[in-house]
Every structure is written in structure tokens, then in C-alpha cells.
Amino acid sequence: MGGTRYVLRMRYGFVVTGSDPNLAVELAPLIEQHGWDGMFVWEGIWATDPWSVLAAAAMRTERICLGTMLTPLPRRRPWELASQTATVDALSHGRTVLSVGLGVPQEVEQRFWIFEDDPGRRTRAELLDEGLEMLDHLWRGEPFEYDGQHYRAARTETLLPAATVQRPRIPTWVVGVWPRMKSMRRVARYDGWIPNYAPPGASVVDAEQQAAAYTPEVAAEAIAWLRAERDRLGLADRPFDVVQEGVTTGTDAAADAAVVRPWADAGATWWLEADWSVPEERVADAARARIAAGPPRG
């Protein structure tokens, strides 16, 4: 494959899984102090606002990336999300990351659909594509017009916000299902891949099945395809991240390195430490202990 390609070292983020915004803001400088490279918070539909939390975290940190894991873009108004993310990007002097996906289907999690009905995967995919296109325009701080199937924007020359600090846009990581090509082609156009896996021949795959079947060998195959596709699109010289989420002990460096190293060798560029099994009442103590132990660099 031709062109110049960025080779990125593995970086390490910590996902704060609890709901207390004060705790998340308290943890932000600890995450930075103990050598992590990013802090991520989850985004619900009726929950603590992650972008308010990240704005506060931006004022207490200097180095770490700040983002969500993840934002259901089809559920959001792109212009409101553009304002929130651009604000955090300005406050952090260009340390924001946006992670987006289709959102959880209604049949999987009713809690996310208490205010509206799920329009279906196809419609959510259309909303995701249009939302991503809109964000690219909205972050530039320039007049534009947009006329999509679901969104529109009339041109205006007044009260335009400043462009984002990061150009050409805030780095945007997109969920993609390997080996579903339409989903993966969407990923290839942006700045990072959050992997999902649908094993060929499997009719229904739940989260546990997906995690068990998705191996570093599968990841390497998908990453090779993404590199080739980005080369074809003329994007091979632009940074591109591959995210792997998981859990390590923080107490056994050799065992932790053995967990993370195969993913790095496969081409992952971010390890996100995320233990979603910790109950809310234990999140504070568990997070402080794991953060203090440092990233699983090996």
C-alpha cells in the first residue's frame, strides 16, 4: 500500500463508570497524575451530562484526552452536540475526543427508550451519517447549508461560533461492526474505530458472545482492511486510532501486559480500562485504586 502512515504508540484511557459528576471531576487530575492518557465518561439519555463533567475536568487537567464512551449520535441534535464538544475542546486547548455509535436498540435496553420509540437500525444509521456530516460543518465556524433526509441547516452569516481548536475536526471515533462493510466504510472515513464484531454465520450475537469471539487475530484482519480502505480514500497519512476496551488487575504487571500486548500487536492504539461490573456504591474506591496503580503498560 502506498502513502505515508502514522504509527501510533499504545495509549491508555480510564473510563469512569459511575454516575456521580463530582467523583468524575475529582478523579480527572488523579488520572493525569498517574500516567494515563485519557479520561472517558459514559453518556446516557436521562443521566449526568457528560459534557458538563468533561468541561469541569478540562479545567483541572493539562494533558489527558477527554471524551465519551460513547455518544449515541442519532439520539442527539448535531448542533447542540457541536456546541458542547467545541466548548470542551476550547477549554481543554484541543484535548477532546468524540466517540459515536448508533445507540442501543429498544429490544436490548428499554431504559434508553422511555421518551420515544426506536425508529429502527436503518433510520438510526441514516441519522448517524447525517449527524457526522453536520458536525464536520458545524465545527468549522463557517456559514454552510445542509439539506438531508433528517436534518437541515439554513445558511446564516451572523453569530457564528469559533472553529474547534483541533482541525480539521475534533477526532471522531466511530463504532463499526466487522465484517459488515457498510458499517466499516463509515468508520474508515473518520478518525478511529470502536470495534463490534458479528461472527459470520451467526444470526444473533449478544455482548458476551461478541466479546468471546472477537480476538486479536480478528482485530488484525479488520485493521488491515481499514488501512487498505483508508489508503484507497487518500487518508493513509492521517492519524487513525483503534480502541480496545477491557479490564486489567493493576496488581500483576506481567498478567496485565499479557492481556494488552496482543491487542497492541494487532494494531490497537488505545486501551480503555473499563470495569462496568463494579456496582455504583463501589465505583469510587475501585476507581481510585485502579487509577493509582497506573496503566497496564507492561
Please report whether residue 171 resides in a domain. yes
Q: What is the pLDDT of residue 51?
A: 98
Please report whether residue 5 resides in a domain. no
Q: Is the pLDDT of residue 5 over 50?
A: no
Please report whether residue 41 resides in a domain. yes
- Angstrom distance (rounded) from CA 141 to CA 162: 5
The CATH number covering residue 90 comes to: 3.20.20.30
Contact 254, 26 (CB under 8 A): no
CB atoms within 10 A of CB 181: 13
Q: Is the pLDDT of residue 215 over 60?
A: yes
Nearest 5 degrees, angle CA 130-CA 104-CA 85? 50
The rounded percent of the chain whose pLDDT value lies above 70 is: 95
Please report whether residue 4 resides in a domain. no
Q: What is the pLDDT of residue 6?
A: 40
Q: How many domains does the chain have?
A: 1
Q: What is the pLDDT of residue 283?
A: 98
Q: What is the pLDDT of residue 48?
A: 97
- CB neighbours of 218 closer than 8 A, spacing ≥ 6? 178, 197
pLDDT in tens, 184-205: 999 999 999 999 999 987 765 5
Range of the domain at 68: 11-293
Sign of CA dihedral 164, 166, 167, 168: negative
Among candidates 191, 162, 163, 160, which has minimal Cα distance to 176?
A: 191
Please report whether residue 3 resides in a domain. no
Q: What is the pLDDT of residue 203?
A: 60
Please provide residue 222's backbone torsions phi and psi, each rounded to the nearest 5 degrees. Answer: -65, -40
- Angstrom distance (rounded) from CA 92 to CA 133: 24
Q: What is the mean pLDDT of residues 264-284?
A: 97
User: Given the C-alpha cell 487513525, which residue does it identify?
Assistant: 240
Q: In whole numbers, what is the pLDDT of the chain averaged over residues?
A: 94
Nearest 5 degrees, angle CA 264-CA 101-CA 217? 30
Q: What is the pLDDT of residue 8?
A: 58
- CB neighbours of 289 closer than 8 A, spacing ≥ 6? 250
Please report whether residue 111 resides in a domain. yes
Q: What is the pLDDT of residue 204?
A: 53
Contact 175, 194 (CB under 8 A): yes
Q: What is the pLDDT of residue 210?
A: 76
Q: Is the pLDDT of residue 1 over 80?
A: no
Q: What is the pTM of this model?
A: 0.95
Please report whether residue 1 resides in a domain. no
Q: What is the pLDDT of residue 205?
A: 57
Q: What is the pLDDT of residue 208?
A: 74
pLDDT band for position 209 (cuts 50, 70, 90): confident
Please report whether residue 2 resides in a domain. no
Q: What is the pLDDT of residue 57?
A: 98
Indicate the residue type of 34.
Answer: H
Q: Coil, helix or strand for 103?
A: coil
